[in-house]
Amino acid sequence: MILSKPNAVVGYLQDSNPDLARRTATEYCGWLYYTPAHMYELSMLTDRSAPDDVVTGRKSCDLPAFVNDARYASADLKYIIALHNHPFGTQISERDMRFIEAMARIHEWVIATRNHGQVLLSIVAFFSRSKDPGAPTCDGFYQYIPATRSMVRWTRMQGKWKQEVTALPR
């Protein structure tokens, strides 16, 4: 769903028009969270850029620390994954890592769920290698888990997901 948003995937423009790719790229983000009703929910998505993106030329999404779900008390929500796209298909950045580590100081590092046991707080960046802007595919995602300090790259090959531990950004 995130990769289907306008300009969520611009890697196909990198070779032919890198300036256009940089100007049009949009990062979207939202929280996957767990409710007292034992349901997984996705927050509203935002594409609000970080204030310094204009100056630095980076593309990022300014994800609020908390979800406003009127059905539940704020303290009863459990935050599981900060989800976002990387328009150029890049690995999770140091900035992404600092964000989820800051969220780990606010939210729980380990979330107990009824059907899936314990789930670790993490951040995920989806990517697409699609050359067709009208039909992006989810070719994989990077996941950083602060509790284990591990970076994992998940890719889909022949309908199956493959997990590969990758190096942390320097």
pLDDT tens digits for range 47-86: 988 766 666 667 789 999 999 999 999 999 999 999 999 9
pLDDT of residue 8: 93
Q: Beta strand 29-34 with 78-85: parallel, antiparallel or unpaired?
A: antiparallel
Instruction: Show the low-confidence residues of the chain (pLDDT under 70).
Output: 51-57, 170
The CA distance from 17 to 135, in Å, is 19
The sheet carrying 160-166 orders its strands as 40-42, 29-34, 78-85, 122-127, 140-145, 150-157, 160-166
The residue with tokens 């802007």 is 133
The residue with tokens 């790229």 is 25
The CA distance from 31 to 106, in Å, is 14
- Residue 66 dihedral angles phi and psi, to the nearest 5°: -130, 150
The CA distance from 145 to 123, in Å, is 7
